[in-house]
Amino acid sequence: MTTIIADRREGIMMADNQNTLANIPTACRKIYRMTSGPNKGTLVGTTGNSGPALVFIEWYRLHSEHDFSESMDDNQILGAGDIDEDFWCMLLTPERKIFIADRFFCPDEVEEKYFAVGSGGSIALGAMDAGATAEEALEIACKRDTFTSKMGRKFQIEEV
């Protein structure tokens, strides 16, 4: 999986760079900015199965802000039956609101000042609870989570 952190205090989203495909780590992009549509400016971080997560990103780009009456199951959209891996998307809006969404495509607001998802998410949250910055927390997740790594690159950091 990965580690995605959103910090509304700083208005940033951060991610590591590792994708594990068939147990082989590769570098990849995990944060996307909505550049058009009603959610323009929102950052979307993806973790887990990337195919359905990218379908969610396109779906979210086309929906009015907070108009999520069409919640759905990506298995129905993709006609995939049971998917072995689920996904999570974390959203950071230009108003610095944090939402998380899963395969049911229904973003749920997180009231915390910061949040993290993915295999290293709980490690990062614990570090931030102890006073670490988002970047320090992601460094700690890289040290403790096998599926979180810089892959020899800088972290992905985006501001809203």
Tens of pLDDT, residue by residue over 44-95, are 999 988 888 888 888 888 876 555 555 555 455 555 445 455 889 999 999 9
pLDDT band of 145, cuts 50, 70, 90 = very high
| pLDDT over 70 at 29, yes or no | yes
Percentage of residues of the chain with pLDDT beyond 70:
86
- Of 1, 2, 26, 24, the closest CA to residue 13 belongs to 2
* 16-20, 64-68, 126-130: range with highest mean pLDDT: 126-130
Long-range contacts formed by 103-108: CB under 8 A, 24+ apart: 103/52, 103/73, 103/74, 103/75, 104/71, 104/72, 104/73, 104/74, 105/56, 105/59, 105/60, 105/68, 105/70, 105/71, 105/72, 105/73, 105/74, 106/68, 106/71, 107/60, 107/68
Of 9-13, 50-54, 114-118, the least confident:
50-54
